[in-house]
Structure 1
């Protein structure tokens, strides 16, 4: 042993004997400060399309509460409909070394870039509620979104199996919007084919904007001289826009309108008779299930799924939850019973002597 190596060796031995440092002579690896129990903190990133809608604010709040309950850290950023911003925010979380990245994409196609960036750093991606298209997504957690459309179509065809129908969809960039429409059209097709239902107008609504839906409804009423018998709206926001247009023609409450998401305003419209139904997708169950599965992914534990969904590139392993029809008759047994909205808020415009018993 030459003199230089001998000196280094003696220094290492002395330092170790004094407990000054460990690993002398070895390459030191960067480490993350661990909690008191010695385990590395799990960090989940969540890239959201928007926080402009009540529904997505609920997702955020429930995920934050669940993360605290489970003792993990969650980073949440929302792009509010800006694709470039969402990509930049996701890449920021990737650079911070999140263990798993959850993504609710604004644009199902563009978000494939996020998956590629995450995978390049060895980070798995969970597609949250909305499916990312044409990418090697690791897991998809959502509701059976074609069934959402089925439920809307089945509800109104039982009410009005004949007549002029209008379909107002969601954002063309959101894969879920296409699934909702497919589900509804699968139900309507036999009625259309035998001539009982005339689909007199159908349009998608940019970024799910109620103002877009209102314009579509105005155009549909003008084109058909107000002779519209049913309006299927893909969510409650678009339903609100359509109902505003119907109200201008004194048709609110006379033409059945569907929705989805069980937003407070929609639940109020239902008990007041302006909207016939919504599809309730219990957000607490979705958010809590997604976070629990993301934690399993972070720990590299087995993740149980119950379906696969094709995204144009692969059949994505999926965990799909069941949506529920809510109307005036079962509002108490669903929305109120689950504590999703307070009784007093849902029925605030209903005279007390006409409200159901708590």
Structure 2
């Protein structure tokens, strides 16, 4: 669609939300450094579940920067956990004339409606970080989320190879949370089967809410007389809630607790010793790869994907990146070395 027409329609539909700006054509210096003209500039809609969490602000900024460096125009909208709002945002972006939608779904199954709606308008959809299930979504880019769960459980088991374990998961509506648990159980099940580990609590956390995770952990403690030897928490937010609960009974720092996302507070807890590990998923790489994919797809190019993930309906062409376990011993060699966090922030 003509970019100027897109801008005009965008101003009608999103007055005050964003302004479109045409970019001047730049010299084509090489085949790898081609900038699109305003006339055929790729228009990317980035639909986020939420901006309430620190992690997603980073994704937003990195993705926008990477896509715009390739000559694309990006509009980002966040639904803050509301499925109906996310669906409406996708609808409005499609009506504006986006060439491709990149979606971080709030609810993996509900978001299939976004894919159906986009395809009816001839717009392809990339599922970013979280897989949209039971749909014909065009591409999926994320990390190996089963491996994330395996890393979480493996690091915890290094600290406590037997005893009473609790699993505090993420939101069951998020397919990643299901995959994290699957990976953790790949490690724990052999130990459970031989009787060295007893899974005394196994619960997902609605909305990934740390307060809910704290209450879930209080339940686990109460029903087991505070006799808990290890906790696998699905991300740093839930880990924070778990650790608050453990603090109330004097167990914080005395038993291993996993996390994920390498959020600043999570990494600080790892350094302090109240959290055993977190999982670093280099989102700079994720955002850059996703931006490259979006620009190619929006330009009508096919994207080669050497992996696929079944989403309940089809095998989705996928690009899966490698996650990294972060412990007190390798903080400087991972998140700080990469510039993801600064030494000053972590060791303040």
Tell me if both proteins adopt one fold, taking TM over 0.5 as the criterion: yes
Shift of 1:35: 5.4
In structure 1, distance between residues paired with 2:306 and 2:147: 15
What is aligned with 2:10? none
Confirm or deny: 8 A CA contact 2:308 2:317 kept in the other structure: yes
Q: 1:35 to 1:53 in 2, by over 3 A?
A: closer
Confirm or deny: 8 A CA contact 2:171 2:207 kept in the other structure: yes
In structure 1, distance between residues paired with 2:275 and 2:158: 15
In structure 1, distance between residues paired with 2:339 and 2:120: 42
Deviations along 1:88-134, one digit per CA (max 9) or x if unpaired, are 00000000110110010000011000001100010000000000011
Q: Is 1:164 the counterpart of 2:176 in the alignment? A: no
What is aligned with 1:85? 85
Confirm or deny: 8 A CA contact 1:306 1:320 kept in the other structure: no
Confirm or deny: 8 A CA contact 1:46 1:101 kept in the other structure: yes
What is aligned with 2:322? 322
Q: 1:248 to 1:339 in 2, by over 3 A?
A: same
What is aligned with 2:116? 116
Shift of 1:218: 0.5
SS at match of 2:261: coil
Confirm or deny: 8 A CA contact 2:67 2:295 kept in the other structure: no
Q: Point out 4+ residue stretches in structure 1 off by more than 3 angstroms.
A: 30-39
Taking structure 1 as the reference length, the TM-score comes to 0.87
In structure 1, distance between residues paired with 2:106 and 2:304: 27
Shift of 1:167: 0.1
SS at match of 1:304: coil
- In angstroms, what is the RMSD of aligned CA positions? 1.2
Confirm or deny: 8 A CA contact 1:234 1:258 kept in the other structure: yes
**Number of aligned residues:** 319
SS at match of 2:212: helix
TM alignment of 1:129-208, pairs within 5 A: 129-208=129-208
In structure 2, distance between residues paired with 1:262 and 1:304: 30
Shift of 1:31: 4.0
Unmatched 5+ stretches in structure 2: 5-21, 26-36
Q: Which structure has the greater CA radius of gyration?
A: 1
Shift of 1:172: 1.0
Deviations along 1:315-349, one digit per CA (max 9) or x if unpaired, are 0000000000000000000011011111111011x
In structure 1, distance between residues paired with 2:160 and 2:132: 35
Shift of 1:158: 2.2
Shift of 1:67: 2.3
Confirm or deny: 8 A CA contact 1:270 1:277 kept in the other structure: yes
Deviations along 1:238-257, one digit per CA (max 9) or x if unpaired, are 00000000011111100110
